[in-house]
A and B are shown apart, each in its own frame.
Chain A
């Protein structure tokens, strides 16, 4: 199986409350926040690796994983660490962050899919900076491929996948035939969420994503990383959603600490009138 994984780097999500908005509301300022891979994209990469290996002998590859990012030169760090983690090849589409919106990324991915011809495109369910949750769906429509968003489980079969999608009232299973687009949710990296044809179904993975061993980080420098230009893969793409201004969320004022249960009930009943 050949898998194309889209990776985005985002401003450190665990410190998202440190973003600043200047008084004129002209932008969201993330200066001072470290760049981190979008967590869902790390999960997408882990999923792709699980699908293209035998879990018992993960060093021997049983398929190909190509990682791609759209961004400025420094996003190559994200790709290098994905290569160190186990991806086989990388592509960076050179673009500034301002040039990129979901549709531009989807159009670019479509072009890459046409040359790379993967069986499966795996993306995160949402990039946690813009929080828009759209690239998988846009790409699937542009390609006229089936989609399975919010994947919590994936079971490979001959020629396709059965995907358990996390929806509002439970888990919805769909059967897809390749080629297809899948976006992954949090629980896809549980020990028994991904079942490939190469791995013993009884195999139990570690919880979460794997980390690159030190020698792999050295070797990753030799793995192929290709650069393309946005104008070549998404010619004429133009954002259809434009931001007029930004605002900080309303601040909640710090509350009070309550001594015990009786005092809490009194406050809820008589002060907040919430009971």
Chain B
């Protein structure tokens, strides 16, 4: 059967938006394969999210519930996902921390090939081809997977979130197979969540990112600027490593990958690893006092100047413009 299974990402009793990007991929893949797609939800009690998942146009919503699935742990989730995916041609989730942690483990269980961080789906006849970035986005490889089940993680910024179709997919409950010995040697302790009232970095229309140059004034300068724009805040590794901002703001090869309509790089030099996370933004603006900084090679608009002067002025004038 040439059908596609989407692994939903559920956190804090909510469906994460990452799920909707995987659904977009699944719709395309199912159309190419002439099959359908289903959605798999795991947890101790997922009743609160079933309505939302059932409205996404899936053939079925598969549900696996058990007390051991309350908190995500790969050791407990992998056997359940592998058992469910066995009858599908493609298993897909988004390449979030969750997808990246779990999918390879599932692939090993299924003796399947895994294509990571896919940005485009192609095909040759009914055989799927996956395009994925390598070398920090400086090359793309087009690959095929030769195993009964093809396991794929997709880059969220490359697949727009699927809209509900108004359907009401039937719900099917799955048995939860026993976990292996590894599961008895791991325990979930706690999640130190960073409170963030702003739009999600990976979903925002505008992102303003700060680098090492902002120093201890990182938030003091970026918060008002982001407020006027309704933007998410991002950062370079140097800003995160130096403790100027929270580590989960990091944009780049090893941080989050963003592709907003508008990206501001403020006091960021533009190292290869940073570019890997933002090069696909529609419009890039760079503010840097060094006119030779590599960031200017990818910026549509470059302003050479001292950010400590430029940023407050930009914030004030932008506010005036919005209020007008």
Give the B-binding residues of A (Cβ under 8 A). 11, 13-17, 19, 21, 28, 102-103, 106, 125-126, 128-134, 137-138, 140-150, 152, 160, 162, 164-178, 180, 185-187, 190, 239-249, 252, 254-258, 260-262, 264-265, 267-269, 272, 274-275
Contact = CB atoms under 8 A, between A and B. Distances in A.
Nearest to B240: A187
A261 B140 contact: no
Chain A interface, DSSP helix/strand/loop, else mixed: mixed
A13 B291 contact: no
B241 to A, nearest CB: 7
Contact of A174 (B73, B105, B140, B302): B73
A146 B185 contact: yes
Contact of B188 (A174, A243, A264): A174
Interface stretch (B60-68, B158-166, B208-216, B253-261): B253-261
Given A102-B104, A131-B116, A166-B97, 8 more contacts: A131-B132, A132-B114, A134-B107, A144-B182, A146-B75, A255-B296, A264-B285, A268-B285
A247 B140 contact: yes
Most central of A126, A129, A131, A272 by chain B CB within 10 Å = A131
Interface stretch (B23-31, B43-51, B314-322): B314-322
Nearest to B179: A144
Contacts of A246: 139-142
16 contacts: A13-B272, A28-B139, A164-B192, A166-B247, A167-B191, A170-B194, A174-B188, A175-B189, A249-B140, A255-B298, A255-B302, A261-B313, A264-B301, A265-B321, A268-B285, A275-B318
Task: Sort A-B residue pairs by CB-CB distance and give the 7 closest, nearest first.
Answer: A240-B113, A137-B104, A141-B108, A146-B186, A134-B104, A177-B185, A173-B189
Interface of B: 11, 73-75, 78, 96-98, 100-109, 112-117, 129, 131-147, 180-183, 185-194, 196, 237, 240-241, 247-248, 253-254, 256, 261-262, 271-273, 279, 282-285, 291, 296-305, 310, 313-314, 317-318, 321
Given A138-B107, A240-B145, A244-B129, A260 B181 contact: no
B212 to A, nearest CB: 14
A150 B321 CA distance: 43
Contact of A131 (B112, B136, B180): B136
A150 B121 CA distance: 27
Nearest to A134: B104
Nearest to A138: B108
Contacts of A17: 138, 272
Contact of B262 (A129, A177, A190, A274): A274
A16 B107 contact: no
